[in-house]
Structure 1
Amino acid sequence: MSRRAFNIPNMLTYARILAVPLVVLCFFLEGRLQSSDPARWAAVTIFVIASLTDFLDGYLARIWKQTSNIGKMLDPIADKLLVSSVLLLMAADGTIAGWTLWAAIIILCREILVSGLREYLAALKVSVPVTQLAKWKTTIQLVSIGFLLAGPAGDKILPYTTEIGITLLWISAIVTLYTGYDYFRAGLKHIIDE
Structure 2
Amino acid sequence: MTWTVPNILTVMRLLAAPMIAVMFLYFTRPYADWFALILFISAAITDYIDGYLAREWKQETKLGAMLDPIADKAMVVIALMVIVGYSSMSPWLVLPATFILFREVFVSGLREFLGDVAGTLKVTKLAKWKTTAQMVAISVLFAQGVFEHYFGMSVYGMDEAMVADILSGREEDVLGLWWKAAGMVWTGHVGMWLLWVAAALTLLSGADYLSKAMPHLKDEKP
Match for residue 158 of structure 1 among 171, 178, 183: 183
Shift of 1:169: 0.3
Aligned mate of 1:81, from 74, 83, 96: 74
Amino acid at match of 2:18: P
C-alpha RMSD of the superposition: 1.8
TM-score (norm 2): 0.78
Aligned partner of 1:16 among 13, 16, 26? 13
Deviations along 1:81-103, one digit per CA (max 9) or x if unpaired, are 11000111111113452242010
Structure number having the greater helix percentage: 2
Please, which moves more after superposition, 18-27 or 41-50? 18-27
Secondary structure of 1:163 counterpart: helix
CA distance in 2, matches of 1:134, 1:98: 26
- Cα distance in 1 between the residues matched to 2:83 and 2:193: 15
Q: Is the 8 A contact 1:121 1:127 kept in 2?
A: no
**Partner residue of 1:62 out of 38, 55, 60:** 55
Q: What is the distance in 1 between the residues matched to 2:145 and 2:206?
A: 31
Matching residue of 1:118: 111
Matches within 5 A, 1:111-150: 111-124=104-117, 126-150=119-143
What letter corresponds to residue 158 of structure 1 in structure 2?
G
Indicate how the Cα distance of structure 1 residues 125 and 116 shifts in structure 2: closer, same or farther if over 3 A, else same.
closer
Asked if structure 2 preserves the Cα contact closer than 8 Å seen for 1:95 and 1:151, the reply is no
SS at 2:60 equivalent: coil
1:168 counterpart residue number: 194
Q: Name the CA distance, whole Å, in 2 between partners of 1:186 and 1:193.
A: 16
User: How far is 1:18 from its partner?
Assistant: 1.2
Distance 2:89 2:47 in 1: 24
Looking at structure 2, the residues matched to 28 and 99 of structure 1 have their Cα atoms a distance apart, in angstroms, of 24
Question: In structure 2, what residue type is equivalent to 1:137?
Answer: K
Partners of 2:132 and 2:105 lie apart in 1 by 18
SS in 1 for 2:90: coil
Q: Is the 8 A contact 1:140 1:172 kept in 2?
A: yes
Gaps of 5+ in 1: none
Q: Normalising by structure 1, what TM-score?
A: 0.89
Q: Distance in 2 between matches of 1:149 and 1:39?
A: 10
Alignment of 1:91 with 2:84, yes or no, is yes
Point out the structure with max Rg over C-alpha. 2
Q: Are 1:190 and 2:216 counterparts?
A: yes
Same amino acid, percent of matched pairs: 42
Length, aligned pairs only: 187
